[in-house]
């Protein structure tokens, strides 16, 4: 078993993130964490202070990975709007065993902890707000480049976009057939592209 001073912190946080994402905050036991992190309870508490703090670190890690992945995909896109539209198909094309096919960890956290652990719920809400800002900045870039009408509202479009991403991932989580997922993703992508000014 690993000791607090010799453990691989990044590996431990990745393991905790994946476990918490799959099971949720309340359903994850100390035994679960022992097994996933390969650490004794005393070492877990010495390294991370508490289960709550470990969870907060895990959702921060999830948020940063999600934001970095979004930025990376947007950087590859020919235009902001095509980059935003492509995100839907990117999710639909994920392998069946890819963890990202699950519902958003931040959304799941809000549902799981709002009435029981407000500090955790509030942190998740802040990260969701920050992701929405990322989306809004992309819509703003699309407006600035002339892809969107000058009167387009980036914040409003970002909220709708975030809701669509969440809805798509919920359908993936509940096992909707892949063909239907692909069609839903295509519809959402088409809706996003339809916001643009026709050339």
Is 63 domain-assigned? Answer: yes
pLDDT for 5: 52
For position 141, what pLDDT does the model report? 97
Domain assignment of residue 35, yes or no: no
pLDDT in tens, the chain (199 residues): 444 456 689 999 999 999 999 999 999 999 999 999 999 999 999 999 999 999 999 999 999 999 999 999 999 999 999 999 999 999 999 888 888 788 899 999 999 999 999 999 999 999 999 999 999 999 999 999 999 999 999 999 999 999 999 999 999 988 999 999 999 999 999 999 999 986 4
- In this structure, is residue 1 part of a structural domain? no
Residue 125 is predicted with a pLDDT of 97
What integer pLDDT is reported at residue 6 of this predicted model?
64
Q: What pLDDT is recorded for position 99?
A: 80
pLDDT of residue 95: 83
In a domain, 180, yes or no: yes
Q: How many separate domains does the chain show?
A: 1
SS3 string of the chain?
Answer: CECCCCCCHHHHHHHHHHHHHHHCCCCCCHHHHHHHHCECHHHHHHHHCCHHHHHHHHHHHHHHHHHHHHHHHHHHCCCHHHHHHHHHHHHHCCCCCCHHHCCCHHHHHHHHHCCCCHHHHHHHHHHHHHHHHHHHHHHHHHHHCCCCCCCCCHHHHHHHHHHHHHHHHHHHHCCCCHHHHHHHHHHHHHHHHCCCCCC
Could you tell me if residue 168 is inside a domain?
Answer: yes
For residue 140, the domain's CATH number is 1.10.357.10
Domain interval for residue 136: 59-193
In a domain, 121, yes or no: yes
52 found inside a domain: no
* Residue 71, in any domain of the structure: yes
pLDDT at residue 4, rounded to an integer? 47
């Amino acid at each position: 078993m690993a000791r607090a001073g010799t453990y691989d912190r990044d590996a431990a946080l990745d393991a905790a993130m994946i476990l918490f994402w799959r099971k949720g905050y309340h359903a994850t036991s100390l035994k679960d964490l022992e097994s996933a992190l390969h650490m004794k309870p005393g070492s877990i508490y010495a390294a991370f202070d508490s289960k709550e703090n470990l969870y907060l670190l895990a959702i921060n890690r999830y948020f940063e990975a999600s934001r970095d992945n979004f930025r990376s995909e947007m950087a590859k896109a020919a235009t902001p709007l095509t980059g935003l539209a492509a995100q839907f198909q990117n999710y639909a094309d994920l392998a069946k065993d890819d963890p990202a096919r699950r519902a958003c960890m931040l959304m799941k956290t809000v549902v799981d902890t709002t009435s029981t652990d407000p500090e955790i719920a509030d942190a998740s809400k802040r990260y969701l707000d920050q992701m929405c800002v990322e989306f809004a900045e992309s819509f703003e870039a699309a407006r600035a480049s002339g892809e969107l009408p000058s009167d387009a509202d980036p914040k409003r479009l970002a909220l709708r976009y975030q809701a669509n991403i969440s809805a798509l991932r919920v359908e993936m989580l509940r096992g909707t057939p892949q063909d239907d997922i692909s069609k839903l993703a295509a519809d959402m992508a088409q809706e996003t592209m339809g916001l643009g000014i026709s050339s």
